């Protein structure tokens, strides 16, 4: 390498090291997001970024191409093995032309495909619709076989034509999310267009949209390994650029070793502080949003329950008036002596018809059942919102106490938040009292 080209080695190494540092911070930020975000129940999903766990359900599931199992997502490929002998000409150190042969081999994808569909994520509380388009999907491998031409699978699921220099070996691989498989889902919740309910779908503003068959802890560990891998690889690139330049220019690389060692750690420290601060700010905003969710549910209870009570009262009044009118007719019929003029049936009939048209197909017992169900669901929503708030406050307070995050939090003036205990939850519930 020429001396002029060697002078650019530190620059190239520094640029690549910064790219590695950015990738490391991105992985660590996602790890923190996974660790900090509490798991929501399907009935307690609030609009925004959520984390859910449950099973994949569908009324009309797909059938995977290779394994033939019911699923909501599958992706398959067929790879064919090839090998060849290559003869090449080269010039040795003495300037003589020589030839040599080498063996090359590899796998080439000769066919691929797959499919996905919206599905429901089910937990112990209910279901929620998930639209997987645009998500990062981590499926499980459900089929993996390597066969020769004598196997029926070779041509049965693979193409008829072979690649150049084929060894006539094919590998069939399929990954899928089987029906009823346990899933971890992180994505942004939004309102559905067809019914009043949330759904999980792709959003450009969402930092993560992940659907995985792995457990949350396994995903977090993977992010941690990715963080340290990129960080160490960046350090090697940063040091390798300057050391390589010094070796080419015949400079002792240890003469000014601190200039080689300091820049990258300082950049990594600055990037880490920036990442931790932004992560804490994001977590603080989630705490405030969780508190707002409680107010939303309390407002819903305040507005919904009185209206339901008035509706039940109207239904009860309707049935009471109908029953009173029928009782009056029966009493008049019993009290009318034989041969005398009876009650005015037409007037009573018009009254009954008017009551029936005002309140069609209403029964007070069904209305009371719906009122009880609404009361139960409302209190469950409030309990879920309170539990979600306490979980995210726990994550916030833990971050503020954990070293070294607490140092960044102290510099930024961040303070712990109190839990919302039952004794402190004194917002008066709506009293359900039906008028006599």
Distances (CA, A) of 228 to 240, 241, 272: 18, 20, 12
Q: Quote the strand ranges of 117-273, DSSP E.
A: 119-122, 127-130, 136-138, 140-148, 166-178, 182-191, 198-201, 210-212
- Amino acid 245: pLDDT: 65
Residue 173: how many other CB atoms lie within 10 Å: 18
Q: Domain map of the chain by residue range?
A: 3-261, 273-324+360-424
Q: Which of the listed ranges 181-185, 341-345, 367-371 does the model predict with the highest average pLDDT?
A: 181-185
For the segment 24-38, what is each residue's pLDDT rounded down to a tens digit?
A: 999 998 898 888 888
Q: Write down the residue that tokens 């820049």 correspond to.
A: 263
For the segment 47-97, what is each residue's pLDDT rounded down to a tens digit?
A: 788 899 999 999 999 999 999 999 999 999 999 999 999 888 878 777 788
In angstroms and rounded to an integer, the radius of gyration of the C-alpha atoms of the chain is 35
Rounded average pLDDT over 256-268: 72
- Amino acid 1: pLDDT: 56
172: which strand partners?
78, 145
Closest by CA position to 33, among listed 151, 178, 186: 186
Distance separating alpha carbons of residues 48 and 62, to the nearest angstrom:
29
Q: Write down the residue that tokens 């499926």 correspond to.
A: 139
- Per the model's pLDDT, the better-predicted residue between 303 and 83 turns out to be 83
Closest by CA position to 409, among listed 417, 400, 418, 422: 400
- Amino acid 399: pLDDT: 80
Rounded average pLDDT over 229-237: 90
Distance separating alpha carbons of residues 85 and 88, to the nearest angstrom:
10
For the segment 356-381, what is each residue's pLDDT rounded down to a tens digit?
A: 555 455 455 565 566 566 666 666 66
Length in residues, the chain? 436
Closest by CA position to 156, among listed 65, 270, 40: 65
- Per the model's pLDDT, the better-predicted residue between 345 and 210 turns out to be 210
Query: Is the separation of the CB atoms in 196 and 202 below 8 Å?
Result: no
- Amino acid 202: pLDDT: 93
Share of the chain above pLDDT 70, in %: 69
pLDDT for 5 beyond 70: no
**8-state DSSP, 423:** G
**8-state DSSP, 424:** G
What lies within 8 Å, CB to CB, of 173 at 6+ separation is 66, 76, 77, 78, 79, 141, 143, 144
Structure tokens belonging to residue 87: 């003869």
Distance separating alpha carbons of residues 66 and 303, to the nearest angstrom:
54
- Per the model's pLDDT, the better-predicted residue between 298 and 100 turns out to be 100
**For 231-260, b where at least 16 C-beta lie within 10 A, e where not — what string?**
bebbbebbbbbbbbbbeeeeeeeeeeeeeb
**8-state DSSP, 39:** B
- Amino acid 303: pLDDT: 65
pLDDT for 426 beyond 50: no
Phi, psi for 208 (deg, rounded to 5): -145, 135
Q: Are strands 127-130 and 198-201 parallel, antiparallel or unpaired?
A: parallel
């Amino acid at each position: 390498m020429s001396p002029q080209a060697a002078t650019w080695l530190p620059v190239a190494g520094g640029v690549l090291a910064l790219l590695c540092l950015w990738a490391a911070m991105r992985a660590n930020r996602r790890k923190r997001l996974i660790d900090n975000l509490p798991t929501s129940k399907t009935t307690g999903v609030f609009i925004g970024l959520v984390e859910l766990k449950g099973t994949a359900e569908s009324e009309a599931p797909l059938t995977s191409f290779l394994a033939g199992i019911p699923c909501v997502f599958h992706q398959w490929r067929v790879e064919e093995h090839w090998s060849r002998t290559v003869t090449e000409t080269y010039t040795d150190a003495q300037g003589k032309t020589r030839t040599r042969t080498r063996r090359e081999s590899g796998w080439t994808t000769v066919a691929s495909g797959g499919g996905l569909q919206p599905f429901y994520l089910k937990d112990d509380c209910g279901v929620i619709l998930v639209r997987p388009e645009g998500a990062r999907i981590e499926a499980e491998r459900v089929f993996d076989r390597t066969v020769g031409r004598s196997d029926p699978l070779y041509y049965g699921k693979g193409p008829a034509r072979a690649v150049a220099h084929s060894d006539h070996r094919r590998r069939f691989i399929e990954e899928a999310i089987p029906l009823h498989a346990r899933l971890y889902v992180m994505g942004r919740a939004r309102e559905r267009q067809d019914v009043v309910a949330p759904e999980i779908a792709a959003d450009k503003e969402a930092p993560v949209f992940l659907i995985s068959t792995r457990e949350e802890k396994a995903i977090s560990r993977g992010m941690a390994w990715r963080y340290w891998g990129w960080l160490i690889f960046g350090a090697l690139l940063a040091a390798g650029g300057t050391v390589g330049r010094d070796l080419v220019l015949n400079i002792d690389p240890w003469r000014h070793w601190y200039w080689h060692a300091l820049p990258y750690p300082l950049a990594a420290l600055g990037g880490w502080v920036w990442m931790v601060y932004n992560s804490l700010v994001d977590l603080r905003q989630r705490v405030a949003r969780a508190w707002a969710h409680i107010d939303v549910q309390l407002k819903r209870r305040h507005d919904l329950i009185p209206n339901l009570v008035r509706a039940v009262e109207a239904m009860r009044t309707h049935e009471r008036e109908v029953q009173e009118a029928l009782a009056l007719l029966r009493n008049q019929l019993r009290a009318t002596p034989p041969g005398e003029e009876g009650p005015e049936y037409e007037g009573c009939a018009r009254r009954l018809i008017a009551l029936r048209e005002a309140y069609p197909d209403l029964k007070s017992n069904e209305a009371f059942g719906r009122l009880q169900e609404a009361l139960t669901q409302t209190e469950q929503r409030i309990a879920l919102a309170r539990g979600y708030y306490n979980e995210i406050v726990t994550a916030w307070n833990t971050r503020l106490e954990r070293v070294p995050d607490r140092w960044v939090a102290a510099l930024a003036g961040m303070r712990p938040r109190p839990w919302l205990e039952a004794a402190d939850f004194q917002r008066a519930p709506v009293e359900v009292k039906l008028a006599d």
